[in-house]
Amino acid sequence: MKKVAFLKDNDLPEIIRQIVANAPQNRKIAAFIASVAPLCAMSSRARLQYYYDSRPSALLLQVLIEGAQSSGKSFAADIESLIMDGTLKARDKAMRRQEQEYRDKRKRRKANEKLEEEPETTIRVVPPTISKTVLTKRADMYERVYGDTLTFWMFAEELAQVTDAGKNGYSNLRTIMRTAYDLGSQFGIDFASDNSYSAIVDINICSMFCATPSAIDDYFDKKAIEGGNITRTILCRLDETIGEDGAIFKPYTAEQKARIDAMLKRLMDATYADDEQLQPTVTLDTQWLDKTVCQWVRAKAKEASLSGNRALDVFRKRSSVSAFRVAALCQYLYELEGSLTTEDVQKRVRQIYLYMADYILDGMMDRWGKRFEDLNTKRDQENKPGPKTVLFDQLSETFNRSQLRALIEQQGKTTPDKVFLSQWKKMRVIEEIEKDTYHKLNVKS
């Protein structure tokens, strides 16, 4: 399929439109990608049906911003703050204050003094250093308070935070990040201790991590590549020419900020009815996009088949999933905005899907394609079955010990020749006709 161009700034959904318009030319795609991850976390009541999935999906994305030192990755933190500071972070701040006040009371309480019940808080923004136990507890609290699931938001300006935390088993989130990519994929912990927390929960996470190439190499090791962590990511690489000036983003005007804040309020209102109730889920009508999805996926399957490229065959599938979620988010934002016809929305969303599917796939192939192929080739060789030939049958009717030793070495066996000879004599399938020379007896081997 012919690759499509990216949308013009003014054709993008509100919020994203304002952010990308203020980005320099060489950062417009990066600004778009840095916007969609936190906006997906904000849109946790949206549901969609991906053509190849049997169960509903949510808007869940995991983004990596890769750039060398001093390459200007901080723009992603600015976008994250713009979207999250006055919304989920502001809501969390009040709830974290409740938790801290309760901890303070517990420290100050007198012996045998009873405290009120621990506050049931629904924290949405979590650090990448969070432990599995705390994450499980926070996810379970959604179910206890609202009777449903919500999406966590996780951001780190340095991926090294995640890697360092992962060295402690209790904060190694690699497995959780795989299940957190899919709505309904559950994670559970079960401890006997009263001081711990046990639950089986649906943990959903949207994330964005900034990283240098070496930090990505450390985090996405052999297990992460083979286990599927890489296929769940959207990799955005900040390539710069040597000696190029730093990318400068224009400041937002008062009008732009007002438009952004108005749409963010809509997203919050589409999630929370009040402190104790969530808004109903909204299922987006994306069936019209199914034909385009099938055409792209099958075109890449044909390309993989003709080239024999296993990485392409594996990577194409989730590249399409992530691109579909980006496209569905944009459809959701267009519909909230309500200023376009259905035909215009579908035209733009289709273009976004096709552009992002190629972008995500190309990024994975460039970054991990060869490594994935090498690991799979090595595993195939290691798991290749040994020769099925019978050692005894490969010997001539009359053979000597030297011939047996050579055949043992050729077939890579470790059992000494004297052991074989001793066993065969006991089985009465050979006889020694002279020193170190043997003759097969008339038996079926």
Q: Look at the chain and report how many structural domains it folds into.
A: 2
Rounded CA gap, 443 and 422, in Å? Answer: 17
Q: Are 41 and 151 in contact (CB under 8 A)?
A: yes
Residues 271 and 397 in one domain: no
48 is a domain residue? yes
Rounded CA gap, 255 and 414, in Å? Answer: 78
Per the structure, the complete domain to which residue 172 belongs is given by 9-284
pTM, full prediction = 0.84
pLDDT at 444 over 60: no
Residue where a domain terminates, one of 284, 318, 342: 284
Confidence of residue 358 (pLDDT cuts 50, 70, 90): very high
Residues 6+ apart with CB under 8 A from 52: 293, 297, 317, 320, 321
| pLDDT for residue 213 | 92
What's the chain's average pLDDT? 90
Confidence of residue 445 (pLDDT cuts 50, 70, 90): very low
306 is a domain residue? no
The continuous run of DSSP H or E covering 438 comes out as: strand 437-440
Residue where a domain terminates, one of 240, 259, 284: 284
Residues 122 and 244 in one domain: yes
pLDDT in tens, 28-80: 999 999 999 999 999 999 999 999 999 999 999 999 999 988 778 889 999 99
42 is a domain residue? yes
Rounded CA gap, 428 and 415, in Å? Answer: 19
Cβ-based neighbour number of residue 259 at 10 Å: 17
For the record, the structure tokens of 218 come out as 């450390």
Angle, CA 211 vertex, CA 205 and CA 216 arms, to 5°? 85
Task: Name the H helices within 85-208.
Answer: 88-108, 132-146, 160-166, 174-179
Confidence of residue 136 (pLDDT cuts 50, 70, 90): very high
Q: Which of 153-157, 179-183, 237-241, 372-376 has the lowest mean pLDDT?
A: 237-241
| pLDDT for residue 140 | 94
pLDDT in tens, 53-63: 999 999 999 99
337 is a domain residue? no
Confidence of residue 384 (pLDDT cuts 50, 70, 90): low
pLDDT in tens, 295-308: 999 999 999 989 88
To the nearest 10°, report the CA torsion of 14, 16, 21, 22.
120
Q: Are 217 and 165 in contact (CB under 8 A)?
A: no
Average pLDDT over residues 151-163: 89
Q: Are 295 and 352 in contact (CB under 8 A)?
A: no
pLDDT at 111 over 60: yes
Q: Are 16 and 36 in contact (CB under 8 A)?
A: yes
| pLDDT for residue 242 | 53
Residue where a domain terminates, one of 284, 303, 332: 284
**Percent over 70 (pLDDT), the chain:** 93
Average pLDDT over residues 375-379: 84
406 is a domain residue? yes
Q: Are 32 and 12 in contact (CB under 8 A)?
A: yes
445 is a domain residue? no
Average pLDDT over residues 327-336: 97
Residues 6+ apart with CB under 8 A from 407: 391, 394, 395
332 is a domain residue? no
pLDDT at 252 over 70: yes
Residues 136 and 255 in one domain: yes
pLDDT at 195 over 90: no
238 is a domain residue? yes
Question: Where does residue 55 rank: exposed (0-12), middle (13-18), buried (19+ CB within 10 A)?
Answer: exposed
Residues 191 and 68 in one domain: yes
Per 3-state DSSP, what percentage of the chain is helix, strand, and coil (rounded to 5)?
55, 15, 35
